[in-house]
Structure 1
C-alpha cells in the first residue's frame, strides 16, 4: 500500500511537471523615431519583467560613399520609465559592402559617439550594452565581425547582435558573430511583397525547419525576439504589393470592403483608406500573429534553448492592448 501511494505521488508530480508552463521574463523593442508612451504602452512596459527597453537609436546607411545616420531618435518630454535603455542600431548590409579597415574604425567610433551623445542629450538611463541589428551575408560577414570587435574596443561596452533565421540555418556560410549574446529574430520568415499563401511575418513550419539545429549554435546565450506586430498587404491590378503597417482583422470591417477570405478583402470604391489612396478592385490581406502561434514557437524553443528571455517586437498600443504576456 505504501509503495502504491509513492507511485501515485510520483505520477502526479510528472503530470504537474509536464503541464506546467515555463514563464519567460519579457520586455519589448521600441522602434519609433520618438520616445513617447501612451497610457496603454506605459502599462505594458511597467508590467514587463525584464528591466530593459531595447530602443532603436538610429539606422546607418551608405549613400554616395558616405555613412549616414538615418532617423535619429528624439524624445517627448513626458517620456518616463524605470527601465534601462539598451541602445539598438540598425545597419544596412549595403553599408558594409567594400568597406575598408579605416572605414570600419571610423564607423565604430561614429556609432559609439552618436549613441553617447543621444543618451546624454535625451537624459536616458542606459544599460552597458549596445545591440547591433544587421542582416549580414556571407559576403559581408568578415567586415561586419571586424566592426563588432572594433565597436567593443572603442565603446568599452558589451556588444550584442541580432541573429536572423537564415544566419542560423546557413551558419557555415554566414559565420558566427564574435559576441557573447545574440537575439534570435523569430519573424520575417518570407517576403511580404511576394505572392504567397504563407504568413510572411511568421510561418511556424518554416521557422522550425530553419531552427531545427539551433541547440548546436556555438553562442550559448540566446535571447528570443517574437513578433506581435501586424500589417496589411495591398495588391493592385498589376499584382504589385505595398505594406500598410499596423492593420488588423478589425480594420477589414468597412462598408466599402467585400470579404473574399478570412483575412482578405476587396476594395469596392475608390478612396483614401488608412492614409493611402486605394482603387476599386485592390485587395488588402491582413497578416497578424495569434497567441497560439507564439506559444507554439515558445514550446519548440524551450526544447532547444535553455532559460531565454523574450523581447516582443514591438511596443505599440496597437499591438499590446489585447495581448497576454
Structure 2
C-alpha cells in the first residue's frame, strides 16, 4: 500500500511539473541592432512579457576598408552603463560584409581575422559587462555567396578552434550563423555553415534596388517559394522575424539609401505624398537619419502589418517540421508602437 502511495505521489509531482512547464510562456528573444545600447521602460516591459532569456546584441561590424586595404571593425557597440542588460543572457552578434571574404581568401589571413574578432569581443566584454556575465553563444551574420563560402566557412572554423575561447570563462561557447532563405533552398550550392545552429532570416527577401518592388522587408508570396525544403535543413535552427520599418530612398531610379525608423514628423516636414501607395517625394534638400536627401528623391515606405506577420508565422510553422525558437528583429523598432504586443507574442508562441 505504501509503495502505491509513493508511486502515486511521484506521478502527481511529475504531472504537476509537466503542467507547469506547459503553462510557462514560451520565451521570445530579440535583436538589439542600434550601435548605442538603449532599452526604454516600454521595451523592458516587452522583454518581460515575452519571457525573454536572451538578447542578441550587435557588438560590431566587419567590413573591408578600401583605403587601408584591410578588414576593419565599424559600428562598435556603445553602452552608457556597465552591465545594464537586465540579467539577460547576451549573444554577441558580429555582422560581416560579404566583401570581407571576397578580399580575404588565404587561410593565414582568415585565422588572423578570426583571432582579432574574438579579441575585440573579449575587450567589449571586459569594458561593458561584469565578470560574471555569460556569453553562451556567438552569432556571425554574413550573407555569403557561392564564391565566398570556402573563405567564410574557414573563418567560422578558425573561430571555433581558437585558443582565445578559453578566456571567455565558459565551459563551451556555441556558434551560430544567420542563414538567408536562398541558402535554405539550395544548400548543395551555397553550402551549410560549420556551426552549432542556424538563425534563418525570414525578411528582406524582396528586390531592394527595384522601384517595382512593393515591400522588400516582407513579401509573403516570394517567401513561400523558398520553404519547400525548410524541414530538411541539416542544422538545428531558430527563426528571425521582422518587426521593423524603413524608407527606401531612390534618386533618378537608383537606390541611394535606407532611412531606418523614420518618424511621421520627418515625413510630413520633408516629403509630399505621391499618387502611388506608400510613395513620397522629397520637397527640399535635407539630411535625415544619416542620409542626404535631395529635392525630387523618391521614398518608398515599408513596414510589417500584423496580418502579414501572422501569415508568415503560420507558413513557417507548417513548413518547419520541428520546434523552433523565435527572435524578433528588433527591440528598438518604432513598429512595435503600432502593433498589439499581446497579439504579436501570442502569434509566435
| TM-score, length basis structure 1 | 0.84
1:245 CA displacement: 1.3
Per-residue Cα deviation, 1:113-165 (whole angstroms, up to 9, x for no partner): 11111111101523321001111111111222222122111225211100011
- The answer as to 2:211 corresponding to 1:209 is no
Contact 1:29/1:53 (8 A) holds in 2: yes
- 2:334 aligns with 318
Q: Which has the higher helix share?
A: 2
Q: 1:197 to 1:105 in 2, by over 3 A?
A: closer
- The answer as to 2:171 corresponding to 1:163 is no
Q: What is the distance in 2 between the residues matched to 1:256 and 1:60?
A: 34
Count of residues paired in the alignment? 300
Residue ranges of structure 2 left out of the alignment (5+ in a row): 1-24, 166-171
Contact 2:62/2:97 (8 A) holds in 1: yes
1:271 CA displacement: 4.9
1:255-274 matches, cutoff 5 A: 257-267=272-282, 269-272=283-286, 274=288
- The answer as to 2:148 corresponding to 1:133 is no
| Greater alpha carbon shift after TM alignment, 71-80 vs 161-170 | 71-80
Q: What is the distance in 1 between the residues matched to 2:317 and 2:26?
A: 10
- The answer as to 2:253 corresponding to 1:239 is yes
Contact 2:207/2:213 (8 A) holds in 1: no
- The answer as to 2:88 corresponding to 1:87 is no
Q: 1:197 to 1:137 in 2, by over 3 A?
A: closer
Structure 2 residue corresponding to 1:146, chosen from 151, 154, 168: 154
- 1:228 aligns with 243
Q: What is the distance in 1 between the residues matched to 2:157 and 2:124?
A: 22
Per-residue Cα deviation, 1:61-116 (whole angstroms, up to 9, x for no partner): 22344221112111012834121110011111111224211112212211111111
| Greater alpha carbon shift after TM alignment, 47-56 vs 312-321 | 312-321
Q: 1:188 to 1:321 in 2, by over 3 A?
A: same
- 2:45 aligns with 43
Per-residue Cα deviation, 1:175-202 (whole angstroms, up to 9, x for no partner): 1111221000111112322222331111
| TM-score, length basis structure 2 | 0.78
Contact 1:38/1:317 (8 A) holds in 2: no
Q: 1:251 to 1:263 in 2, by over 3 A?
A: farther
Residue ranges of structure 1 left out of the alignment (5+ in a row): 1-22
1:292 CA displacement: 1.3
Q: What is the distance in 2 between the residues matched to 1:280 and 1:65?
A: 35
